[in-house]
Structure 1
């Protein structure tokens, strides 16, 4: 059985109301959406990435990419909701064969996909009112980000680096949440020509000459400060970002499962850090 890819259109036709059902959420972005839609009381478990106060007391089913069918079935769920990143496929197949509805949400890294997913979940989880209010707030935030972009005098180049123990330079290209967050913040990704995450040669990395570097907070914990990071990855010192110590940290949960609520919040914070002259708190007057 192949993984069920649920588009907005076919999902509306194929899945009935899930109000009051026992839900397991796999992925920080999905859990965050369910909490925002006031569905945390229907959650019976979450995955390891879903570290939020509202679900802190719930059982943890492991990492969303390495789910165990036995562990999930022991919780008697009606529904498993996650992104296309959850798996493995064999676990999803066993759950489906056991009568669990496996909902694989679209994970496109666009604001439209995020808004469509909220509408979709609001309809199916009996949370239309909450979804509407959430969309209004998000739409305002997105338009504010876009309006601020028009005030940016000179866009800065920013490269997202996936830090690892091997000391390699792996960058986020297009079709990644990191790319979308940087773009929303008004930065230019010099690795945009790459597809997804790709390792860079020393020559390719230096040729990109990023003015700023973005790293995940989870990976940053190993280094704690910029000098330690540069010592571990000495090529950084040869870039404008390294020379100016323009290295920023993003909440890694904002990069899991496509563009999510935290992704938008991280883009707002990043935009202010990159361009302090922007009136980030100025309310955008929208025309009717």
Structure 2
């Protein structure tokens, strides 16, 4: 049986089987770590039948069947779980996936990504509506808002510092977080100047620009640093070693999914950053 025929059969069967489903019978494919985390935070994890490979938080999500990278999902793989809904992050793909799923009767929701606290709250609200948990979503948003407000008050009065968030490095140079990123939003709420704020998104920053910015603190995604040897190697990077942060050589490791994505753990990431700034000033 060829691949095209298998897809057609799956689409036909799914369209028939989902026609009479009620809200309580939702079968959700979650595409994107942020989407999965929000669903769990809304206590709707029982609806999720499979997720993409970036969905590894909270712990329960690691046990979900995985469909591969969220940008490269296959129609056959998704339909094999007989879903009623696919809730996906903005970059979910490929584009050919969506019309095939819709033809099979799957309700597809691809949610935009505004990379700041406002975007997180919008994401929670949207997911809450889809999984029929609007009240829980509102409560979660209020909890996050209240905690962030408390933390911003703690950051008031701290002397201004400059920080750099490093995502990865290669022969081309250091890839850092510029404007329109979650690290930029966290830095803003912590009262920190982003050394890469003149750039947009995640891009390679040349050595001369890093040296000129002279960051006081380096923050690094956890997938980049896993050992003391890697810490020392980063501190000796030509763009880092003569900066204030490089000479102190105490890069702050941030858990990647909460520091780079729209996570309900945004307040925890912000608290971690503020504590490190307080420690830098001798107040932590």
Normalization by structure 2: what TM-score?
0.83
Query: Who is 2:257 aligned against?
Result: 253
Larger helix proportion of the pair: 2
Residues 104-183 of structure 1: pairs in structure 2 closer than 5 A: 104-152=110-158, 154-166=159-171, 168-183=173-188
* Alpha-carbon contact 1:19-1:126 (below 8 Å) kept: no
Q: Residues 265 and 204 from structure 1, CA distance in 2 versus in 1: closer, same or farther, beyond 3 angstroms?
A: same
Q: Which residue of 2 aligns with 1:266?
A: 269
Q: Aligned-residue CA RMSD in angstroms?
A: 2.3
Q: Are the aligned partners of 2:259 and 2:269 in contact in 1 as well (CA < 8 Å)?
A: no
Gaps of 5+ in 2: 1-21
User: Is 1:41 paired with 2:37?
Assistant: no
Runs of 4+ in 1 over 3 A off after TM superposition: 17-20, 222-225, 276-280
Segments of 5+ residues of structure 1 without an aligned counterpart are 1-16, 281-288
Superposed CA deviations along residues 190-214 of structure 1, whole A, max 9, x for unmatched, are 2111111222222122111111111
Which of 227, 237, 240 is the equivalent residue of 2:241?
237
SS in 2 for 1:89: coil
Q: Identify the structure with bigger relative contact order (alpha carbons < 8 Å, sequence gap 6+).
A: 1
1:219 counterpart residue number: 224
Report the Cα offset of residue 129 of structure 1. Answer: 2.9
Aligned counterparts of 1:190 and 1:28: Cα–Cα separation in 2: 27
Aligned pair count reads 261
How far off its partner does 1:18 sit?
4.9
CA contact (8 A) 1:19 1:125 kept: no
Aligned-residue offset at 1:246: 3.3
Pick the aligned partner of 1:32 from 25, 37, 56: 37
Alpha-carbon spacing, 1:118–1:148, altered in 2? closer, same or farther (3 Å): same
Secondary structure (helix, strand or coil) at the match of 1:65 reads helix
Distance (Å, rounded) in 2 between the aligned partners of 1:164 and 1:94: 38
Bigger radius of gyration: 2
Moved more, 216-225 or 135-144: 216-225
Matched, 1:84 2:90: yes
Decide whether aligned partners of structure 1 residues 264 and 170 sit closer, same or farther in structure 2, where only a CA change above 3 A counts. Answer: same
